[in-house]
């Protein structure tokens, strides 16, 4: 397997483990992350094949320019630990289990991953874990979940499952989505405090313009990335997470002002440039150059 580096995490493309051709296509896509799905999406009799395909994909496909994440069934499922051991041998970047409710679920997963790493001779702590926030109980505990383990790398919003549990009605209005603002805000706050990535839910329609607008909404909310169910949405997601031209003009002028050797002349619009402005400007310029 090729040596892999941690990539940007703007886009996460979901692909079912039971479909080998889809796994091959996803690994060659422009997505920053490929989500290999082992929780659902195929009949029970296909599970052995899905497990075999997923491990084969990790072993044989080129992941040098992206990350491979794998989602399993809930950690309390009797077969999850066995499947986890099989998949970890293929060295995914991050693993997570469905239907997380509390920090305890993360701690249990952490222990299971640690045991697998020891048994497989994998460097301890090298596998990240994550959590999908798709239950009301998980939302209530999102801060604790985000901080439950040093391995935590990301939390992700599961909007459709959450709708069933929370009881909100999805409007489908791109860029507004008032019914999920509270949930999204809590997730972004928890993720930022824990210094981990926060990925928004997928846009479920096919139109590319709507998908890009929805991704721009995610970026404005403070998410670091977004899930996609089609590779066609990846380019729009990446554009949405780039700084706007207006932001870049501002950032470059701030950087230029900050380089003035005279502190009293470090001004923009007749105001002194502060440390927070400089830090944000450098972040935007750096993001645009990636």
- Are 63 and 150 contained in the same domain? yes
Name the pLDDT band for 1 (thresholds 50, 70, 90): very low
**Domain identity same for 196 and 284:** no
Query: 276 lies in a domain?
Result: yes
Binding annotation: 71, 134, 161
Q: How far is CA 172 from CA 11, 22, 183, in A?
A: 20, 27, 16
In-domain check, residue 153: yes
Q: What is the CATH number of the domain that holds 167?
A: 3.20.20.60
> Is residue 3 assigned to a domain?
no
For tokens 């990636």, what's the residue? 290
The verdict on 211 and 270 lying in the same domain is no
Residues 199 and 282 in one domain: no
Segments forming the whole domain that contains residue 66: 11-240
Q: Is a pLDDT exceeding 70 seen at residue 173? A: no
Tell whether 40 and 166 lie within a shared domain.
yes
Numbered residues of the known binding site for Mg(2+): 134, 161
Question: At a CB cut-off of 8 Å and minimum separation 6, what does 269 contact?
Answer: none
Residue 99, pLDDT score: 96
What does the pLDDT look like over 236-268, one tens digit per residue?
Answer: 999 999 877 777 777 787 888 778 777 777 777
Statement to judge: residues 227 and 250 lie in one domain: no
Identify the pLDDT of residue 7.
66
What is the predicted pLDDT for the residue at 33?
A: 98
82: tokens are 């066995």
* β-pair partners for 11: 226
- What are the angstrom distances between the C-alpha of 48 and each of 23, 80, 109, 231? 16, 13, 22, 26
DSSP 8-state secondary structure symbol assigned to residue 29? S
288 vs 110, residue with greater confidence: 110
The number of folded domains in the chain is 2
pLDDT at 4: 38
Residues 274 and 154 in one domain: no
Query: Are 100 and 204 part of one and the same domain?
Result: yes
Q: What is the model's pLDDT at position 5?
A: 46
Please indicate, yes or no, whether residues 184 and 263 belong to a single structural domain of this protein.
no
- pTM as predicted: 0.87
User: What is the per-residue pLDDT across 4-54, written as a single tens digit (0 to 9) for each?
Assistant: 345 689 999 999 988 999 999 999 999 999 999 999 888 889 999 999 999
**Residue 100: which of 70, 133, 72, 71 has the closest Cα?**
133
Q: What is the predicted pLDDT for the residue at 3?
A: 32
214 and 116 in a single domain? The answer is: yes
Residue 34 located in a structural domain: yes
User: Please, are residues 12 and 199 in contact by the beta-carbon 8 Å criterion?
Assistant: yes
């Amino acid at each position: 397997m090729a040596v892999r580096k941690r990539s940007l995490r703007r886009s996460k493309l979901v692909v079912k483990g039971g479909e080998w051709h889809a796994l091959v296509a996803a690994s060659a896509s422009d997505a920053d992350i490929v989500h290999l799905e082992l929780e659902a999406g195929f009949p029970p009799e296909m599970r052995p094949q899905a497990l075999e395909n997923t491990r084969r994909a990790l072993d044989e496909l080129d992941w040098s320019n992206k990350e491979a994440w794998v989602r399993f069934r809930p950690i309390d499922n009797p077969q999850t630990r066995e499947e986890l051991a099989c998949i970890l041998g293929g060295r995914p970047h991050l693993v997570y289990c469905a239907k997380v409710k509390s920090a305890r679920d993360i701690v249990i997963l952490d222990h299971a991953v640690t045991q697998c790493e020891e048994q497989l001779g994998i460097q301890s702590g090298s596998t990240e874990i994550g959590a999908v926030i798709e239950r009301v109980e998980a939302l209530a505990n999102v801060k604790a979940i985000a901080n439950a383990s040093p391995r935590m790398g990301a939390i992700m919003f599961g909007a459709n499952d959450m709708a069933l549990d929370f009881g909100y009605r999805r409007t489908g209005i791109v860029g507004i989505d008032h019914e999920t603002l509270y949930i999204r805000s809590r997730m972004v706050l928890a993720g930022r405090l824990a210094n981990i990535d926060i990925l928004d839910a997928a846009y479920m329609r096919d139109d590319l313009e709507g998908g890009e607008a929805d991704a721009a909404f995610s970026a404005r909310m403070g998410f670091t990335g977004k899930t996609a169910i089609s590779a066609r949405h990846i380019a729009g997601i990446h554009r949405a997470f780039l700084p706007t031209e207006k932001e870049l003009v501002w950032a470059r002028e701030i950087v230029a002002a900050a380089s003035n050797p005279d502190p009293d002349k470090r001004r923009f619009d007749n105001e002194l440039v502060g440390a927070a402005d400089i830090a944000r400007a450098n972040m935007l310029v750096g993001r645009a150059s990636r």
